[in-house]
Amino acid sequence: MHERQFKASLLPIMVIIFCILIIGVVAGVLALNRQRQAATVLRVPEDYPTIQAAINAAGAADIVQVQDGTYSENLILDRPIILTAASFDSVNPANNTTVIEGGGGVAITIPPNLTQMPTVRGFVIRSNNVGIQSSSPFIVEFNLFLASSDQVHYQWGAGGANRNNVYFKPGDDAIHLDNTDRPLLIENNRILYATDDGIEVNLQDKPSPPALVDVNIWNNMIIGSREDGIQLIDYPGDPQNTNRRFVIIGNLIANSQKAGIGLMPNANPVEDFSGADMVEPVRVFNNTFYGNSHGISGGDDLVAFNNIIANSVGRGVWRVQGPPGSNSVVAYTLFFNNALDSDQSTLGAGNITGQDPLFVAAPNPGADGAWETVDDDFSGLLLQSSSPAIDKGVTQYMAASGELIPASPLTGFIGTAPDLGWREFGSPIVITPTASPIPSPTLAVSPTAPTPTITQTFTTVPPTATVVTVTPLPTNTQVSPTPNLPTVTLTATAPSVPTITITPTSAQLNILSLTPNAAAANTTVNVTVSGTAFANGAIVRFEGAEGTAPQVTGIQVVNANTIVITVNTAVGTGATTQVWDVRVTNPNNTFAVLPDAFTVTVAP
């Protein structure tokens, strides 16, 4: 009798357990189904005859996938989708074969007031006007830009990420910024033979951004600009801080006919070596300036250290100075073979003069034997093992104001201290993603970490000098498949209590957690995304709630299990606390979504 009573009392408990497990299974299936249905792939020309028709039919987070060919269109990209070529070369976009031909108009226009970022990936973009003109943040990656006046033009309201592109012979500037008011990351690009400047930034102040805006220029090769590699243009009137900061790290700036970095006054875009007394903070470290007329010209708040400035036909540094007590300084820099190393500039500790940096090799015209072509090879500007620039840098520099630059000390170097110049000895020249279109446990990562706290981690190989020619490179064709998801199998076992077996596919992309998983509104935070099968070149975005989504302004794929992102949580007037889903999309367009992953809190 007691046994029957025990069995009778156990039955409700088993029923409850069974119901709980069934609810869990259903929730898991719904989550997987949501992941499966979250994005639609719209194919051109199979499903839609034109790219614009596919864009018009797409919803948020959908993928417009374009087959090889030339498409003569002037596109309006007015929604947060992924516009991607079906195949492209992520290592050398000069091999891309899907062409957007803008003719006499703007090839791609991104209008203002988009609350989430669209992505443009894997095309050849050319026009007689402007390649991409944007008034909202967006991501542009793995493209080849040809012709055009300005190849990418950022206007008020624009920002985002510009990475892993090749810019070749623009009629004016490769990348042009006007009145920047959103964070922007420009990294891992090759900018070749701009008719004017590689990157031109106009510092209009009507109005200035309400909060400090970072423009980060990291790990680019800027070669052969007819004027400046990077030009910052101040506007008329007394110098005033327009609430923008420029962090220039890890770049090779070579053979500019004017300045590697030139600061100009009074809205003057024609470099005349005025050396503007611009007061916006400019932080310049671990770069190599080679064969420019001037290395750096101007700056009242320009702090330069851990650089190499060589073969300048004019001055190495010119008018890098401010009033007494200002931050401007050039320190821990190797000067070699410049007509004049320094003139009217403030020099700090640790500078080296008259010693050859011992580069591996001089630039050469590449396999085609012709200069000013896309395969010109500057990869030899790496340090030999006996270079006097090795271990001569500092991990952090304190400016006159007490500011520590960067905020967190540099890490990851091989020896006792960072090397001078754009690459740590032994680091690879190619820092764009690996050729494999599938996730790899070892990924080449950028030797920097996201803003606002910069921790420069050098990616190194055993300490032997290896020259890797940037171009020509083997073609890597990336095919964009429909997302492949795990299957869910229910297996009944005695005593009638189900167990759940999930059989994943190989290298299944998955998001496990975000740390931290919340932030106050109107702040910028670094967030670690943990999961599996992340690929270099992955993008991260927030979705699934009301109002302005958190903006991802910087991404570093650390390895297959970790991504570090910089998130701006700006919200509009009247906003309330919102819980957002997070989506990670790999370059092959597989993706994962973690529901309710990140909370933006608004104070009552």
For residue 125, name the pLDDT band (cuts at 50, 70, 90).
very high
Element (H, E) at 25: helix 2-37
Q: Which residues contact 11 (CB under 8 A, 6 or more apart)?
A: none
Please count the CA atoms within 13 angstroms of the CA of 45 that sit on its side-chain side.
7
The percent of residues above 90 in pLDDT, for the chain, comes to 60
Are 144 and 124 spatial neighbours (Cβ–Cβ below 8 Å)? yes
How confident is the model over 335-357, as a mean pLDDT?
97
For 398, other C-beta atoms within 10 Å of its C-beta total 12
List beta partners, residue 100: 71, 125
Of the candidates 235, 231, 299, 249, the residue with the CA atom closest to the CA atom of residue 451: 249
Phi-psi region of 124 (alpha: psi -120 to 50; beta: other; left: phi over 0): beta
- DSSP assignment of 226-256: SS-SEEEE--SSS----SEEEEEES-EEE--
Q: Is 90 exceeded by the pLDDT of residue 6?
A: no
Question: Could you tell me the CA-to-CA distances from 239 to 176, 235, 242, 298 in Å, in that order?
Answer: 22, 8, 9, 13
Q: Is 60 exceeded by the pLDDT of residue 498?
A: no
- DSSP assignment of 84-139: EESS--SS-GGG--EEEE-TTS-SEEE-S--SS--EEES-EEEESS-SEEESSEEE
Say what the pLDDT of residue 207 is.
77
Are 83 and 118 spatial neighbours (Cβ–Cβ below 8 Å)? yes
Say what the pLDDT of residue 74 is.
97
Say what the pLDDT of residue 499 is.
29
207: DSSP letter: T
Q: For the segment 393-431, what is each residue's pLDDT rounded down to a tens digit?
A: 999 999 999 999 999 999 888 899 999 999 999 876 544
Give the least confident one: 216-225, 293-302, 347-356, 514-523: 514-523
Please count the CA atoms within 13 angstroms of the CA of 376 that sit on its side-chain side.
21
Are 125 and 84 spatial neighbours (Cβ–Cβ below 8 Å)? no
The percent of residues above 70 in pLDDT, for the chain, comes to 80
Say what the pLDDT of residue 22 is.
64
Environment class of 382 (CB within 10 Å of its CB; exposed 0-12, middle 13-18, buried 19+): buried
Q: How far apart are CA 337 and CA 316, in angstroms?
A: 9
Q: Is 80 exceeded by the pLDDT of residue 355?
A: yes
- DSSP assignment of 486-508: -EEEEEEETTTEEEEEEEPPTT-
Say what the pLDDT of residue 254 is.
98
Say what the pLDDT of residue 525 is.
82
Whole-structure pTM value: 0.71
| Average pLDDT score, the chain | 83
List beta partners, residue 479: none
Q: Is 80 exceeded by the pLDDT of residue 507?
A: no
Q: Which residues contact 584 (CB under 8 A, 6 or more apart)?
A: 509, 511, 529, 531, 534, 538, 539, 540, 563, 591, 592
Q: Is 60 exceeded by the pLDDT of residue 170?
A: yes
